[in-house]
Every structure is written in C-alpha cells, then in structure tokens.
Amino acid sequence: MVNSKDYKDKNEYKKALRSSFSDTGKKTSEHVVSKKKKLIKRSITIPLTIFLITGTILLILWGYAIRRSQVTMKNVKEEVELERLRDEIRAELEDEERKKEEAEKKANEKVMLPEIAALYKENPDIAGYLTIDGSVIDYPVMFKENDNDYYLEHGFDGSNDVNGCLVLDKRCDKEGDNINTLIHGHNLKSGKMFGSLSKYESKDYCLKHPYITYSSKYKTLDYQVFAVFTSEVYNEDSEYFEYYDYINIENKRQFDEYVKGAVENSLYETGVRVDWGDKLLTLSTCEYSKENGRLVVVARAIDHE
C-alpha cells in the first residue's frame, strides 16, 4: 500500500498512488480472466467427461444387448432345431411302432388257403376241403349256421341235389378252431360223398388208406385213422357210444372219454396212440344194418398246431 509519508513531493505521491492502482487493477483483471478460463474449462471438461462416460456405458450396454440378442437368437435356433429333431425322432418311432403293429397284425392275421379262397368267392358257406387218397372222397365241406340238413339236400351252388354235400356239424367252429371236427355225408350206393366210407369196416382197407387230409379255411392237417365203429342216433335208450355228444370238447376229461369210447367200440385195433392236445377228425355217415345207424371213422392229426 502507498504511504504519503514515504514521499516528499505531493506529485510523486500521486504518481506512486496511480501506479499502485494500476498494478492492482491489472492483477485483479488477470485473476478474473484466469478464473473465467478455469470456469470455462471446467464447464467443458465435466460435460465432456460425463458424455464420454455415458457414451462408454451406453456402448457397453449396447454391446451387451447385441450379445444377449445373439445368444437369445442362437438359443431360439437351437431350440427350434432340437424340437425339429424331436419331431423327426417321434415320427420315426411312431413309424416304427406302426410298422411293428402292422407286422404283428399281419403275423396274427389268418390268411385263407388259396384253394379255399377260390371256393369262398363262389360260395362263402365253404368251411373246408376233405380228401382221402385212393378213394373218391375229394369234396368241399359246407357249413350252414344252425342247420345240418340244408347242404345234405343241396349242392355246392345251392341248387337242390339228392347227393348233397359233405357238411361240417353246426356245433363246430366254421373257422376250423375245433378239438374235434365232425363232418357228415350221405352214404350213397353210387359211392359218391361218403359212399366209400364203409370200406373202412375192413382193417385191411384201413391199413392201406390210413390217412385223411382236411383243410379248414386256414390250415391243412393230415390225420391218421385210429378207430372205426358203428352207432345210432335219435334213440335215447341206445346202448351205442354217443359220439355226437363230444363235439365241443373243453377239457382233458372229455377228450379222454371220447377217445376211450371210440377205441373200445372200434371194429378193430389200429395201434395208433392218441394224446390230449391232438386234434381229432370224425367222419359220420349212415349205416343201414340198424335203424338210424351210423358208421363213424375217427382220426387224429399227425401235425400238432
């Protein structure tokens, strides 16, 4: 600070005082300018820093969002691909299961024998076909629901015919699932139908013609004769073996009773063994030595089902 005592001359004092004011103003002005610069710099730096930081954060977030979007899209694609793969596997498994079921169904499905199928087209009442080598017996076997007489009076085509046809007993299963298959036929003097069956009354004939072939709708079996006997029907007091009561054999006891009755009443011994589980074939025709007489030939299947 300028002191007046330090100056002798008043003019020098004024000059010094003016100089002091000039220096102070100058310093004050410089300080103000400097402060303004700092404020300006600070006003630029802070927003810029904030901008840069914010931009960096936004850039990071944007990059993260893009990455997350890519990951999400990748996951979606993988899930779609996985689901497509699952669908393919499911389709393959379903196809395999369907083929398996079809194969099982086909394996279990009964296929009609070609020769029977051909006759079935002409007449669906066909039940099978009977053949005895070396004899005239070579005929279709017919079946009429609950009626044994119809085809004994009609031909294969349904026309009236005194010779009739061979007939599967109405109590038997038309499809061939029988333990004992009973077939009826007329004993004709012409030898047709079961007209030659009476030859089995001779043991020598039986030894020469021991086998009978019967084809049901679905299977052909060869049978061997083990008993030949006579009986009668429509007689409640008959002492003869009632073979006709053993059609629907359901158990071993009934089976053994039938086989025992047939063997014990047989006209001769054949030596053929019959066991539970064998399929039986019974042929029945008229026998004229007695009223309502019947000649019966019984055979057992050589091939087991």
CATH code of residue 160:
2.40.260.10
What is the per-residue pLDDT for 291? 86
Dihedral angle computed from the Cα positions of residues 49, 53, 59 and 63, in that order, rounded to the nearest 10 degrees: 160
- CA angle centred on 92, ends 88 and 96, rounded to 5°: 170
Q: How confident is the model at residue 187 (pLDDT cuts 50, 70, 90)?
A: very high
Distance CA 164, CA 184 (A): 10
The most confident of 238-242, 275-279, 290-294, by mean pLDDT:
275-279
Q: Do 141 and 248 fall within a single domain?
A: yes
Structural domain harbouring 55: 4-108
Q: Do 152 and 248 fall within a single domain?
A: yes
Q: Do 63 and 197 fall within a single domain?
A: no
Distance CA 164, CA 63 (A): 98
- Domain's final residue, options 108, 138, 172: 108
Q: Which residue from 302, 220, 228, 211 is spatially nearest to 270, judged by alpha carbons? A: 228
Distance CA 12, CA 235 (A): 180
Q: Do 120 and 256 fall within a single domain?
A: yes
Q: Please, what is the average pLDDT of the chain?
A: 86
Q: Do 183 and 283 fall within a single domain?
A: yes
What is the per-residue pLDDT for 278? 94
Mean pLDDT of the 2-21 span: 58
Q: Do 190 and 80 fall within a single domain?
A: no
Which residue pairs from 154-160 have beta carbons closer than 8 angstroms and sit at least 24 positions apart in sequence? 156/119, 156/122, 156/123, 157/122, 157/123, 158/123
Dihedral angle computed from the Cα positions of residues 47, 49, 55 and 58, in that order, rounded to the nearest 10 degrees: -100
Q: What is the pTM for the complete model shown? A: 0.67
pLDDT at 304 over 60: no
Q: Do 61 and 145 fall within a single domain?
A: no
Distance CA 296, CA 257 (A): 16
Q: Do 77 and 191 fall within a single domain?
A: no
Q: Do 268 and 196 fall within a single domain?
A: yes
Q: Do 100 and 192 fall within a single domain?
A: no
Q: Do 51 and 76 fall within a single domain?
A: yes
Q: Do 102 and 165 fall within a single domain?
A: no
Q: How confident is the model at residue 273 (pLDDT cuts 50, 70, 90)?
A: very high
Distance CA 35, CA 253 (A): 128
Split into its structural domains, the chain has a count of: 2
